[in-house]
C-alpha cells in the first residue's frame, strides 16, 4: 500500500477536484435553470482533469529522483485512474444525494420536453446506477488515455 501512496493521494485529489467541479456546475445553474448548457460546459472539466494528471505525474517524476520514462509515468497514471474509478460510486452518490439531488429530475424533464429521449429512456439514463457505471468505466478509459499522453510529455528519458 505504501508503494502506491503517491498514486492513491492523487486519486483522492482528483476525486476532490471533480466534486468541486460539480459544486461549480451547480452554482452556474447547469444542474437547474440552465441545464441545456450542461452537456457542453461539463466537458471543460477535461482541462482540469488533464492538469491534475500533469501535476500527479510530475510529482511521480520527483519521487523517482527526477528521472521517469514513459512506462513509469503511464503505470502511475493508470493506478491513479483505478483509484478514481473505485471512488466514483461514492463520489456519484455524494453529488446526486447531497450536492445536486435535483439534477436527475431536471435532466429527465429537459430530455423529454425537448424530444431528445422518451420518458423511460431518460429515466434509465439519468439515474444513479447509470451514472455510477458511466463514471467508473468512462473515468478508467479516459484516465488511461490521459495517462498515456501526459506521460509522453512528463517523461525525462525515451528509452525503456
Identify whether 12 is part of a domain: yes
Phi, psi angle pair for 34, to nearest 5°: -115, 35
Identify whether 160 is part of a domain: no
Q: CA-to-CA distance for 51 and 24, rounded, in angstroms? A: 17
Print the domain residue range for 65: 2-154
Identify whether 59 is part of a domain: yes
Domain count, the chain: 1
22-57 pLDDT, tens digit each: 999 999 999 999 999 999 999 999 999 999 999 999
Identify whether 159 is part of a domain: no
Identify whether 147 is part of a domain: yes
Task: Yes or no: say if 56 and 76 are a contact pair by the CB < 8 Å rule.
Answer: yes
Q: Indicate whether 159 pLDDT > 90.
A: no
Identify whether 119 is part of a domain: yes
Identify whether 103 is part of a domain: yes
Amino acid at each position: 500500500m505504501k508503494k502506491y501512496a503517491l498514486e492513491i493521494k492523487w486519486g483522492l485529489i482528483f476525486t476532490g477536484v471533480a466534486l468541486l467541479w460539480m459544486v461549480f456546475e451547480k452554482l452556474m445553474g447547469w444542474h437547474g435553470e440552465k441545464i441545456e448548457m450542461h452537456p457542453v460546459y461539463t466537458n471543460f472539466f477535461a482541462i482540469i482533469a488533464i492538469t491534475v494528471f500533469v501535476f500527479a505525474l510530475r510529482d511521480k517524476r520527483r519521487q523517482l529522483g527526477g528521472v521517469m520514462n514513459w512506462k513509469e509515468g503511464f503505470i502511475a497514471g493508470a493506478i491513479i485512474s483505478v483509484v478514481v474509478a473505485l471512488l466514483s460510486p461514492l463520489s456519484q452518490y455524494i453529488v446526486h444525494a447531497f450536492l445536486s439531488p435535483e439534477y436527475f429530475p431536471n435532466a429527465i424533464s429537459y430530455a423529454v420536453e425537448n424530444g431528445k429521449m422518451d420518458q423511460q429512456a431518460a429515466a434509465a439514463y439519468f439515474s444513479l446506477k447509470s451514472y455510477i457505471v458511466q463514471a467508473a468505466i468512462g473515468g478508467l478509459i479516459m484516465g488511461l488515455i490521459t495517462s498515456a499522453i501526459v506521460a509522453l510529455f512528463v517523461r525525462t528519458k525515451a528509452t525503456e
